[in-house]
Amino acid sequence: MAKSAYLTDNAFTERNIVCYDHSDVISNGYKVRNPLRFPAPLMVFQLSIISLTSLIIGVGLKPLGQPILVAQVLGGILFGPSALGRSEVLRETIFPPRGVMALETAATFGVFFNLFAIGVECDSKRMFRPGKKAVIIGISVLFSSLISNMGMATLMQSFITMDPPLAKALPVVAISQCIVGFPNVCSLLKEMQMLNTDQGRLATTSAMFCDVIGFTMGAVGFIKLQVEKEHSIPRKMGSGLSPLILVIFTIYFVRPAIKKTLKQRPDGKPVGENYFVCILIIVLTYIFAAETIGQHFLFGALLLGMAIPEGPPLGAALINKLHYPIGKLLYPVFLTTSGLKTDVFTIHFKSLWVISLLVLFSVLIKIAVMIIITRFTGLTVHDSVIVGLMLNSKGICDVVFFNLWRISEALTDEHFAVVIIISVILVTVIITPLLKYLLGSIEEQSPTKRRTLQHSKPDTELRILVCVHHLQSVPTMVNLLEASNATEQSPIGVIGLVLIELVGRAAPLLITHNHTQGEIPEDASISLQIINALRQYELAYETCVTLQPFTDITHFDLMHEDICRLSLDQNATFLILPFHKHWEIDGSIGTSSRAIQNINSKVIKKAPCSLGILVDRGILKGSMAILNNQKGYHVAVIYIGGPDDAESLAYGARLARHPNVSVTLIRFLMFGYDNARERKVDNSLIEAVRYENSMNENFIYEERVTRDGVGLSASLRSLEDRYDLIVVGRYHEESPLLVGLGEWSECPELGVVGDFLASPDVGIIASVLVVQQQRVRGKLLNRAAKPVVVNNQDGGPYPEMNNHNHNNNGMSTPTTVSNDHPRWEITIDRAN
């Protein structure tokens, strides 16, 4: 018994009737029968070769900065009638007509589940309540493109001689070029790591608003087609009202029911498998309902997706489970099958240049509209061009519509091939390097203004950007802010930035909080606890501390961009980052995040101001607030030499002004090695701090003379539990003083000394702040100083150092320190 089915394409481009045996789905092995003659093994083989080919092409195009979309479509073109598919043997073996229906069905499942996932990731509130700029851009670009493209298509039909199929295709192509799909824009910018740029945020928000308009217009168009097909008035009313009823049912019943079910789930408990299975069943039901009422299945998938609450717990769980089977396997099959239907040998030159001209005109119109409306958007011409290019992104939306129009015969196979190659591939290939170049030119214009503690005026506001990932980091962070000594003469402006990984959302969010904060996303609720803790610090010092809190929900790969941009926009002088490791109360490492470590490393390279990485060990010593701490807060500042140590010295000098903070400045000198010029720089900096604290009983100055890295490490180990915080510079010039310390470095972002102090093997229980002075384009603002050394022949500014006795081996021995400096101690390493 055999069944028959209508298929497309030679397999894909010709209509054939194919008979197949319904009783055999799998083979019994190659020794008995050829597995590729049976549907199941054939489809598995097709999926494998499609995925592998797309992966190989993607790897080859990655150095050129091209998105994976191009590789997936090119993979289909490679196996299609444009290339390898012209071989009858290969075509009949890999993509025979009998296997097309199964592959198309798998591709269809991939596209509607992918669109469902896109709906889940969309923030429905942002879609219907965008900002003023997004509304202006969305309306202007969409309708200007529609009017201009249709006008251009009409003129071309009137003045260019063309065959009827091409004349029929031009309005369709004109409409397709008006599409500003949010999935297109978001996918491209995510791959190019531009989602977090100001232009990227504006483009995604504008595209989201355009989707609302386009989605509505598309639904109305389908309703109109269904109404025209019906003859009786009741059927016409049913066709017109049924989609509206489905929308109302979704908004007022399905979404509230899902939210109510999620609220009954215990807090902190992950979503169970039953939730996931039920959602998949509802997705299939919605797709069937959409087809039943005359709408395309995409309508049902997107509608239900937008009804699912985005982000954790349900939205994020759905995205995680659908990511690999759908996003990495079945969805690429849809793009590849679109390439399989592309036959470049059917293209005529006239069709090619006519459609290319219309596509080019549409691209330029969007950019021109963005430039024209700069008066209303406040963007520069440069930024307007960037946003215009972003809104020209091509992707899943275009490919879906081209396939629909091909099935409905609005596009012939020839014109389908042209729009796939020109509109999808060529436009993407061109705008990708243009975006990189234009955004790269903006990054090169980074400011050169000094934003350092060392060069700040003492009577100006100190603006500190504090980054927090977890609630347990807050006590030590607040202690550090309290120790920074906010006064009315030198107030502190705290920019609190809560960092949350973007999960289950398509577009990142940067939320500005205020005292009248409204509703925020559920996955950002932890930020309210962190911000409330920071507000307590603000209230305790309300006359000299201001707080501006933000919450950043974004991908870990892009988080450093937001940190650097916010510190620049908020004019921060000092940026504090949390270390990626957290300690348990027994002194062991509790959690470690490689993603946070990567963020810190990227911020170190791009930070527009000085920064510090805080290694939080507050749990080992207790985190009592300095304001109420009767025992005081003990800080050690390690000084070896160089600009980073100079920055840590400047911060230590500020800490020393706090009445409850005692600061010990420990300067390490290397015996028998000297650079008079660099030592003079270090001496002047230290002398200024000593002079400022000459009457401060809580300030201690120590000099420790050592021979090598062994002596330095032994001296650092001796700090043990004497301090609550140790401040040290990140970078030091190469010196025998540091030999051996960096050989087993685990965290290079801390530098040699910082990594040693942060190691759990050393036994130090104090928190560590590793400071780096501002770099401009990777270069230091002032001349780097080498490690300071002792010169026994030079008088210098410290006469006490000239009173060393020398033994026959040339080694120094301790001497009595002058009583004029009661808080000055000298330790000399005398070990061989």
Report pLDDT digits (tens) over 42-80: 888 888 888 888 889 988 888 888 888 888 888 888 888
**pLDDT of amino acid 720:** 73
228 or 705: which leads in pLDDT:
705
**What residues pair up with 512 in beta bridges, in sequence order?**
550
Pairing of strands 589-592, 581-583: antiparallel
**pLDDT of amino acid 4:** 43
Retrieve residue 546's tokens. 């201001």
Average of pLDDT values for 145-153?
91
**pLDDT of amino acid 448:** 59
3-state secondary structure (DSSP) of residue 223: helix
* Residues near 519 by beta carbon (within 8 Å), at least 6 away in sequence: none
Cα atoms in the 13 Å half-sphere on the side-chain side of 798 = 26
Considering the chain, what is the average pLDDT of its residues?
80
Residue 425, Cβ neighbours under 10 Å: how many? 20
Per-residue pLDDT for 613 more than 90?
yes
* Residues near 812 by beta carbon (within 8 Å), at least 6 away in sequence: 671, 705, 790, 792, 804, 805, 806, 828, 830
Name the nearest CA neighbour of 552 among 495, 591, 606.
495
Name the nearest CA neighbour of 597 among 613, 585, 608, 586.
613
Per-residue pLDDT for 790 more than 50?
no
Sorting pLDDT into bands at 50, 70 and 90, what band is 207? confident
* Most trustworthy range by pLDDT among 141-150, 316-325, 739-748: 141-150
| Strands laid side by side in the 492-501 sheet | 509-512, 545-554, 492-501, 462-468, 574-578, 610-615, 767-772, 725-729, 633-639, 661-670, 699-706, 824-828
Sorting pLDDT into bands at 50, 70 and 90, what band is 574? very high
* Most trustworthy range by pLDDT among 319-333, 425-439, 674-688: 425-439
Retrieve residue 715's tokens. 């001296």
Outline where DSSP puts E strands in 605-758: 610-615, 633-639, 661-670, 699-706, 725-729
Per-residue pLDDT for 625 more than 60?
no
What distance in Å separates the CA atoms of residue 14 and residue 796, rounded to the nearest whole number? Answer: 93
Name the nearest CA neighbour of 638 among 716, 521, 739, 736.
716
Sorting pLDDT into bands at 50, 70 and 90, what band is 8? very low
pLDDT tens digit sequence for 512-534: 887 545 456 666 677 888 888 88
Question: What is the DSSP annotation of 241-273?
Answer: HHHHHHHHHIIIIIHHHHHHHHHTSPTTPPPPH
Sorting pLDDT into bands at 50, 70 and 90, what band is 647? very high
**What residues pair up with 702 in beta bridges, in sequence order?**
666, 825
pLDDT tens digit sequence for 438-492: 887 666 555 557 888 888 887 888 999 999 988 888 888 888 998 898 888 889 9
388 or 227: which leads in pLDDT:
388
- Which domains does the chain carry? 37-434 (1.20.1530.20), 453-514+525-772 (3.40.50.12370)
Q: 731 with 642: CB under 8 angstroms? A: yes
Q: 70 with 429: CB under 8 angstroms? A: yes
pLDDT tens digit sequence for 76-118: 888 888 888 888 888 888 888 777 788 888 888 888 888 888 8
In the 8-state DSSP scheme, what is residue 784?
Answer: P
Average of pLDDT values for 803-810?
36
How remote is the C-alpha of 249 from its chain's centroid? 35
Pairing of strands 824-828, 699-706: parallel
Q: 73 with 420: CB under 8 angstroms? A: yes
**pLDDT of amino acid 573:** 92
Q: How many helices (H) and strands (E) does the chain have?
A: 30, 20
* Residues near 366 by beta carbon (within 8 Å), at least 6 away in sequence: 141, 145, 180, 388, 391, 392
405-422 CB burial, b ≥16 within 10 A, e <16: bbeeebbbbbbbbbbbbb
Q: Within 39-131, where are the H helices? A: 39-61, 68-79, 88-94, 100-121, 124-128
740 or 378: which leads in pLDDT:
378
Q: What is the 3-state secondary structure (H, E, C) of 454-470?
A: CCCCCCCCEEEEEEECC
Q: 388 with 370: CB under 8 angstroms? A: yes
Per-residue pLDDT for 39 more than 90?
no
Residue 481, Cβ neighbours under 10 Å: how many? 23
* Residues near 720 by beta carbon (within 8 Å), at least 6 away in sequence: 763, 764, 765
Sorting pLDDT into bands at 50, 70 and 90, what band is 621? low
Q: 415 with 173: CB under 8 angstroms? A: yes
Sorting pLDDT into bands at 50, 70 and 90, what band is 821? very low
Average of pLDDT values for 651-664?
90
Average of pLDDT values for 322-338?
83
Average of pLDDT values for 307-317?
81
* Residues near 258 by beta carbon (within 8 Å), at least 6 away in sequence: 307, 308, 309, 314
Q: 534 with 546: CB under 8 angstroms? A: no
* Residues near 716 by beta carbon (within 8 Å), at least 6 away in sequence: 638, 753, 756, 757, 762, 764
Give residue for tokens 């396939």.
403
3-state secondary structure (DSSP) of residue 779: strand
Name the nearest CA neighbour of 449 among 273, 568, 583.
568
**pLDDT of amino acid 642:** 85
**pLDDT of amino acid 357:** 93
**pLDDT of amino acid 520:** 64
**pLDDT of amino acid 404:** 85
What distance in Å separates the CA atoms of residue 273 and residue 281, rounded to the nearest whole number? Answer: 13
580 or 37: which leads in pLDDT:
580
Whats the size of the chain, residue-wise? 832
Average of pLDDT values for 343-362?
90
Pairing of strands 589-592, 610-615: unpaired
What distance in Å separates the CA atoms of residue 513 and residue 532, rounded to the nearest whole number? Answer: 11
Q: What is the H or E stretch that residue 549 is in?
A: strand 545-554
**pLDDT of amino acid 612:** 93
Opening angle at CA 754, ends 748 and 756, nearest 5: 90
**pLDDT of amino acid 7:** 44
596 or 815: which leads in pLDDT:
596
pLDDT tens digit sequence for 356-377: 999 999 999 999 999 998 888 8
What distance in Å separates the CA atoms of residue 39 and residue 51, rounded to the nearest whole number? Answer: 18
Average of pLDDT values for 822-827?
48
**What phi, psi does 464 have (nearest 5°)?**
-115, 125
Q: 739 with 709: CB under 8 angstroms? A: yes
Straight-line distance from the first to the last Cα atom of the chain, in angstroms, rounded to the nearest whole number: 95
* Most trustworthy range by pLDDT among 182-196, 464-478, 802-816: 464-478
58-68 CB burial, b ≥16 within 10 A, e <16: beebeeeebbb
Per-residue pLDDT for 659 more than 50?
yes
What distance in Å separates the CA atoms of residue 147 and residue 375, rounded to the nearest whole number? Answer: 21
Average of pLDDT values for 534-543?
87
* DSSP helix, strand, coil percent of the chain (3-state; round to 5): 55, 15, 30
How remote is the C-alpha of 735 from its chain's centroid? 38
Average of pLDDT values for 288-298?
80
Retrieve residue 425's tokens. 């591939």
* Most trustworthy range by pLDDT among 66-70, 457-461, 598-602, 621-625: 598-602
**What residues pair up with 550 in beta bridges, in sequence order?**
497, 512
What percent of the chain lies above the pLDDT cut of 70? 82
Per-residue pLDDT for 783 more than 70?
no
In the 8-state DSSP scheme, what is residue 734?
Answer: -
Average of pLDDT values for 744-757?
86
What percent of the chain lies above the pLDDT cut of 90? 14
In the 8-state DSSP scheme, what is residue 788?
Answer: P
Q: 386 with 450: CB under 8 angstroms? A: no
Amino acid at 575: L
Name the nearest CA neighbour of 289 among 256, 334, 250.
250
Average of pLDDT values for 304-333?
82
